[in-house]
Structure 1
Amino acid sequence: MEKGAIGNFVNQKVLPPIMKFVNTKAVTALKDGMVYSLPFIIIGSVFLILSNVPIPAVADAIKASGWSAVFTQAYTATFGLIAVWAAVGIGYVYVRNEGYEPLPAGLTSLSVFLLLQFLQIGNPLIGAMGKAGTGITNSAGAVTMSGSQVAANIDKLPQTLQNFLSAPVSGVINITWLGGQGMIAAIIIGILVGWAYTSMMKAGWKITLPEQVPANVANQFTAMIPAGVILAGSMLIYAGLKFTLNTDMLQLIYKLLQTPLQGLSDSLGGALIIAFMVAFFWFFGVHGGLIMGAITSGLLIPNTADNAALYHAGNLSLANGAHIVTNEFYNNFINLTGSGITIGLVVFTLIAAKSVQFKSIGKIELVPAIFNINEPFLFGLPLVMNPFLAIPFFLTPVIVALSTYAVIYFGIVPPLNGVAAPWTTPAIISGFFIGGWKMAVWQAITLLISTGIYFPFAKKYDQVLYDQEQAKTAEKTAEA
C-alpha cells in the first residue's frame, strides 16, 4: 500500500471513529474537567517535596521541627484531594458544555461522591497494635510505645471497652478515597451526574420562578429538582450496597474497575501502546498528546497519586505496590522534548545539518524543545506524513518507554515519586523532581538515545533537502 493510500485509509477509516469517541460529551468532560485539578496537583507536589526532602539530615531537621506535619497538611488538602477536584470539575464541565448553570451540577457531583462512601475510618489502634503494628508516635515521628506494648495494655481492659476502642471511627470522611484511590469513582460519578442533570433539565424537570426573582436565586431553585432526584437515587444505591453487600460504591468500583485498569495501564504493554499511539496520531496531523492524555489521564493520575502516597510514607518501592507507568512517565519520558522525543533532530541541526530548511527550522525549534514543545518540527520540517523521519518518530518513544520501564522494573532507578512536574519543565530538571538524581541521569541518557536514533535518518533527509536546494540554486543561476 502506497503512502497516499495508507494516509487515506487512516484518515478515512481509522481516525474518524477514534475522533468521534474522543469528542463525545463524556470524554470531553473528562479531559476538560481534569484540568481543574492540575494546579492542586502541581502545588501539592511542592508540599510533598518539602515534607520529604531527599536529603536525610534536612528531612530529619524538618521532621523534628514539626514543619513536616504542616507540609503534610498542605499536601493532603491539595494533591490529596484530586478525586474531589475531578468529581466537581467533570460534572461542572459536562453541564457547562450543555449550556446550563454548571456550578450546582459540580456541587451535586461532589455530594454524590461523598454520599456513596462510608463516612468512617478504621480505628488507629488496629494498625498500632501487635508486633507488626506501627505503635504510637509523637509529633516528631518518634515511637513512644511499640505495637506490642499497645496490645499488652489494651488487653488489660474489659472486653466491652476493647471492642469500643477498636471499632471504626464514624462520622468522618476517609481521605483515602479523596485521592488517587477514588479517582475512577469520581470520574464515573462526574460523568453520570452531568448526564443525568442535563437530561432532566432538557426534559423540563425544573422549578421556574417569576422573572422578578433575582437570577442567582432562581438558578438555585432551577437546580433543585435535578439535584434532588440524583441525590435521592444515590442514597438508595448507598443503602442497597450497605444492606446487601456491606460495602459502598467507592470500594466496589476500586476493586472491580480501578485496580485492574490501573494494572493494565501500568504494564509494559500499556506503556508501549501509549508511546506508539501518541506518535501515530501526530504522524497523521492529529494532536496525539491531547488524545492519549484524555484517554489515559484517568488511570495514570491515580498511579501518580499512589506513588506520591508511598513516597510520603517512606515506602516507595515496587515491592510495596509502586507503579512504574504514571502520568509523569507519560509527560516526562514518552513526550520528553515533545511528542516523538525529537531532541535528536535539534542536536542534528546544531552540529551536522547542511540544508537551509533544516538549519532554519532547527533554530526556531531550539528554545521550544527545551520546554518540551515541538510543533515547529511537527508542521515546519515537517514530521507529519514525512516518510524519511517516520521510523525514528515512531521508534524513539517506544524505545524510551521500553528502556525506562526496564530500568525501573530491575531497580536501576527508583520508581517515580509522585511529584508532578509540569510538562513544560526542561529535561533533567524534571527528572530530578520526579525521581531524584538517578532519574535525572536516566533522562539525560534518553536524550542521547533520541539523538542516536534520529541522527542517521535526519542525515539522509537533510541530504535530500540539500540536494533540492542546490538544484534550485543551479537552476536560478542558469536562468540568470
Structure 2
Amino acid sequence: MQLMLLVGGAIFNQAYTTTFNVMALWGSIGIAYIYVKNEGYEPLAGGLTACASFLMLQTLAIDSPLKAALTSGINNGQMSGKVVAENIDKLPHALQTFLEAPVTGVININWLGGDGMIAAIIVGLIVGWAYSAMMKAGWTIKLPKQVPPAVSNQFTAMIPAGVILIVTMLIFGAFNNFAHTDFLQWVYKTIQSPLQGVSDSFGGAVVIAFLVPFFWFFGVHGGLIVGSIAGSLLQANSFDNAQLYRAGKLTIANGAHVVTNEFYNNFINLTGSGITIGLVIFILIAAKSAQMKSLGKLELVPGIFNINEPFLFGMPIVMNPFLAIPFFLTSIVVAISTYCVIRFGIVPPLNGMAAPWTTPAVISGFLIGGWKMAIWQACTLVISTLIYWPFAKKYDNILLKREQANETK
C-alpha cells in the first residue's frame, strides 16, 4: 500500500509540476500570441518570442539544496537543522563555500508558476505590443511571393524577435548588475506580493464580492471585469495553496491564502453572480406569479451549473430595485462568512484544485476543500435562501397584482 501511494504520488506530482505549475510560462506565450493575432499578424513567432523573453529575464540558478537540507530543522542524529544553521559560519571556509554555492544553469520552476504570474502578463503584453508595432512599421525581411508562407513567416519574424530579445538581454543585465536581482523577482516583490496581500485580505474579499453584482446590476458582465483585474492575483494565491497542500502544510499558520480563485468561483459566484439559488428555491416553493414560476423552471438547471443569465436579464435582476438588496447582500454575506470560517480554522483553506466553475455546489466544495468545505457550501445555499426570501416574496406579490390587474382589463 505504501509503495502504491509513493508511486501514485510521484505520478501526480509529475503531472502537476509540468502543467499547473508552469502556468505563468503558458500565460506569457498565450497573451503575446493572442495580442499579435488580434493585430492581424502571424502569431506563433510572437508567442515564442515572449516565451524566450520570459525565460531570459530570470536568473538561471537556484539556492543551494545542500544548505537547505542541513538547515531544514530535521534531526540528523547528531545536530538539529537549527544548530547547523546557527553554526554554519564556523565551518571551514571551503566547506561553507561548497554548501552555500547556488546551482547554476537551471531554470527555477517557482517562477514558471504562481510566483511569476504578474511578470508573465507584463512580458506577454509588452512583447505582443512591440512585435506588432515593428511588424506594422515594416521592420521585416521581405521575400518574394513565390516563397512558401511557412518559410517566409520565419524570416519576417527575425528582425522584430531579434530586437525584442536584445532589449530583453539588456534589461536582464541592468537588473542583475545594478539591482542585484532579476526582473521576475523584482516584479514579485514590488507588485505581485503586495497586491496578493490586498486581494487576500478581508477588505479584498468584500470589495470583490461587492463589485461583481455591482457591474451586473447595470447590465455589464461583472465576472468578466473583476476576473480580468483580480484573476491573476487570485490564481497566484491558488498556486501558493496548491504548493502547501502538496507539502502537507496547508494551514493559515503556514501562509495559506483565504481568498483564491476557488473562493471567487465557488463561493462569490456560486450558482451564478449574486448566488441566486435562494431566489430559485423561493420560486419553486412559494412563488404565485406566473412570471416568477416560469423563470424559476427555466433557471433551475442552469443555476445548478452556476449560470444565471436567465434570471439576470429575464426576471430581470438588472436595474431592478426590488431585488438589488439581496443581490448585493448575499454575495457580501457569503464572502464575509466564508472568509471567517477559513481564517479561524473552522474549515480548512482551499487546496488550490482548479475545479471547473460550472461544477455544481457541494461537489465543488468537496473537490476544493474536502467534506467540511462541502458542508459549508451547503450552508451558503441556505444563507442565500434566507436573504432572498423576504425580498422575493415582496416582488412576487407585486407581479401577482400586476397580472391580476391585467386579467381584469
> 1:233 & 1:357 partners in 2: Cα distance?
62
* Matched letter for residue 30 of structure 2: G
**What is the match of residue 68 of structure 1?**
9
**What is the match of residue 240 of structure 1?**
174
Q: Secondary structure at the match of 2:34?
A: helix
Kindly provide the CA deviation profile for residues 127-184 of structure 1, in whole angstroms up to 9, marking residues without a partner as x: 1104x44579xxxxxx9x9758999xx9999743552353111111100101000001
Structure-2 change in CA distance of 1:135 and 1:155 (3 Å):
farther
> 1:407 & 1:332 partners in 2: Cα distance?
15
**What is the match of residue 402 of structure 2?**
468
Q: Secondary structure at the match of 1:118?
A: coil
**CA RMSD of superposed structures (Å):** 2.1
> What's the offset of the Cα at 1:317?
1.2
1:149-160 equivalent positions in 2, closer than 5 A: 159-160=93-94
Contact 1:127/1:133 (<8 A) preserved: no
Matched, 1:407 2:341: yes
**What is the match of residue 267 of structure 1?**
201
> 2:42 & 2:124 partners in 1: Cα distance?
15
**What is the match of residue 105 of structure 2?**
171
* Matched letter for residue 61 of structure 2: Q
Matched, 1:111 2:52: yes
**What is the match of residue 130 of structure 2?**
196
Which of 280, 283, 290 is the aligned partner of 2:214?
280
1:256-335 equivalent positions in 2, closer than 5 A: 256-335=190-269
> What's the offset of the Cα at 1:224?
0.7
Structure-2 change in CA distance of 1:257 and 1:156 (3 Å):
closer
Contact 1:361/1:380 (<8 A) preserved: yes
* Matched letter for residue 23 of structure 2: I
> 1:242 & 1:233 partners in 2: Cα distance?
14
* Matched letter for residue 118 of structure 1: T
Which of 33, 36, 42 is the aligned partner of 1:101?
42
Give 4+ residue runs of structure 1 displaced > 3 Å after superposition: 60-63, 132-136, 145-151, 154-159
Which of 117, 124, 129 is the aligned partner of 2:70?
129
> 1:332 & 1:213 partners in 2: Cα distance?
52
Percent identity over the alignment?
A: 67
> 2:100 & 2:4 partners in 1: Cα distance?
32
> 2:42 & 2:106 partners in 1: Cα distance?
31
**What is the match of residue 354 of structure 2?**
420
> 2:46 & 2:75 partners in 1: Cα distance?
44
Structure-2 change in CA distance of 1:342 and 1:230 (3 Å):
same
Structure-2 change in CA distance of 1:134 and 1:79 (3 Å):
farther
Kindly provide the CA deviation profile for residues 180-212 of structure 1, in whole angstroms up to 9, marking residues without a partner as x: 000011011111111111111111111111111
Q: Secondary structure at the match of 1:295?
A: helix
> 2:208 & 2:220 partners in 1: Cα distance?
15
Aligned length, in residue pairs? 407
Contact 1:388/1:461 (<8 A) preserved: yes
Contact 2:67/2:99 (<8 A) preserved: no
Matched, 1:88 2:11: no
> 2:258 & 2:92 partners in 1: Cα distance?
47
> 2:236 & 2:344 partners in 1: Cα distance?
23
> 1:116 & 1:135 partners in 2: Cα distance?
38
1:13-24 equivalent positions in 2, closer than 5 A: none
> What's the offset of the Cα at 1:413?
1.1
Kindly provide the CA deviation profile for residues 244-280 of structure 1, in whole angstroms up to 9, marking residues without a partner as x: 2221111111111111011111111111111111101
1:34-45 equivalent positions in 2, closer than 5 A: none
**What is the match of residue 394 of structure 1?**
328
> 2:264 & 2:279 partners in 1: Cα distance?
21
**What is the match of residue 451 of structure 1?**
385
> 1:74 & 1:135 partners in 2: Cα distance?
31
> 1:250 & 1:192 partners in 2: Cα distance?
14
> 2:52 & 2:212 partners in 1: Cα distance?
36
> 2:3 & 2:396 partners in 1: Cα distance?
56
Contact 1:316/1:415 (<8 A) preserved: yes
Contact 1:421/1:434 (<8 A) preserved: yes
Q: Secondary structure at the match of 1:388?
A: helix
Q: Secondary structure at the match of 2:355?
A: coil
Matched, 1:436 2:370: yes
Matched, 1:210 2:144: yes
**What is the match of residue 188 of structure 2?**
254
Gaps of 5+ in 2: none
Instruction: Name the TM-score, length of structure 2 as normaliser.
Output: 0.95
> What's the offset of the Cα at 1:290?
1.2
* Matched letter for residue 58 of structure 2: Q
> 1:370 & 1:75 partners in 2: Cα distance?
29
* Matched letter for residue 81 of structure 1: V
Q: Secondary structure at the match of 1:66?
A: helix
Contact 1:135/1:150 (<8 A) preserved: no
> 1:283 & 1:177 partners in 2: Cα distance?
38
Kindly provide the CA deviation profile for residues 61-94 of structure 1, in whole angstroms up to 9, marking residues without a partner as x: 643x422112101100010001011111111111
Matched, 1:362 2:296: yes
**What is the match of residue 20 of structure 2?**
79
> 1:357 & 1:388 partners in 2: Cα distance?
15
> What's the offset of the Cα at 1:102?
0.7
**What is the match of residue 43 of structure 1?**
none
* Matched letter for residue 239 of structure 1: G
Instruction: Name the TM-score, length of structure 1 as normaliser.
Output: 0.81
